[in-house]
Amino acid sequence: MSTAMNFGTKSFKPRAPDKGSFPLDHFGECKAFKEKFMKCLNENKFDNSMCRLQSKDYLECRMERQLMTKEPLEKLGFKDLLDPPSTTQQNTKS
Amino acid sequence: MIGLSYAAVPLYRLYCQATGLGGTAVAGHDSSVVEHMSPIKERVLKVAFNADTHASIQWNFRPQQSEIYVVPGETALAFYRAKNPTDKPIIGISTYNVVPFEAGQYFNKIQCFCFEEQRLNPHEEVDMPVFFYIDPEFDSDPRMARVDTITLSYTFFEAKEGQRLPLPGYSYQPQ
């Protein structure tokens, strides 16, 4: 890490999270969703892309229980998982 | 003139707190990036997770997955777990580190559990999520061309009630 004398070297500067801190889920209200997500990861060699539906479900659980500020899912990067409103009858899945 | 340059530091800090820019202001660091970014599916990156506790805190703190494979431009979720095995409540506060250093500017946490105190009651165990993404610009940076693993490390310290961890580079001012 850096000391006062290291003017030339750069050091890592932590940045605060964009939306702040998650409140702690003291009562484990969303634990079931977390378990589903972790199970999905275990089954898919920890490939996040395969488990985005489960991560969306977990975050929705938090939002419903005041454990996360409610936010439209597009703003959390899940727009591809939402059914687009279309006049044709096709249901797109990611 | 000298007075003005001294005033710049607290003024900048006020500006950062008001606008939420926090630490280094990096381009594309707002929520509209998340909404409009597209995953770069061919650039798979491994994010490895590390957990440390300072000697003074008695929490058991560990990641729930040792690694996760992500692509730039796609939001990702990961979990840590913390348990307070003692008979008294403990308040912890955490900071994090990303290596390689240069990748840190592309590592964006949308929400996590750091920099604010977290209180665990006796024998309580909680899941602690980190919701993040790697900025798609990562893929265009020639310095990142050979980076395929990013390690995220969290360290928990014991905090006193009402304490806030100062971000490095700012002098601590009690509120």
Sheet with B76-83: list strands edge to edge: B60-63, B76-83, B125-134, B107-111
- Which chain B residues have a beta carbon less than 8 Å from that of A77? 34-35, 37, 74-75, 133
Q: Interior CA angle at B104 toward B134 and B42, to 5°?
A: 30
Q: Tens digit of pLDDT for each residue in B9-62? A: 666 555 554 444 444 434 334 668 888 999 999 999 999 999 988 878 899 999
Q: Tell me what pLDDT residue B117 has.
A: 87
Mutant choice from A2, A19, A21 vs B, greatest count of B C-beta within 10 A: A21
Q: Tens digit of pLDDT for each residue in B50-87? A: 998 887 889 999 999 999 999 999 999 999 999 999 99
Rounded to a whole number, what is the distance in angstroms from the first to the last CA of chain B? 29
Range with the poorest average pLDDT among A18-22, B109-113, B120-124? A18-22
ipTM above 0.95, yes or no: no
Q: Please state the domain count of chain B.
A: 1
pTM: 0.77
Helix A31-43 × helix A52-64 angle, to 10°: 170
Cα gap B93→B83, rounded to integer Å? 14
The domain in which residue B125 lies consists of 2-28+38-158
B114 inside domain: yes
Q: Tens digit of pLDDT for each residue in A38-84? A: 999 999 999 999 999 999 999 999 999 999 999 999 999 998 888 66
Are the CB atoms for A92 and A83 separated by under 8 Å?
A: yes
B164 inside domain: no
Q: Which residue of A has its CA nearest to B31?
A: A75
B48 inside domain: yes
Both structure tokens of B143: 């310095």
B165 inside domain: no
Average pLDDT, chain A: 83
Beta strands in B37-141 (DSSP E): 45-53, 60-63, 67-70, 76-83, 90-99, 107-111, 118-120, 125-134
B172 inside domain: no
For B23, which DSSP code?
A: S
For residue B100, the domain's CATH number is: 2.60.370.10
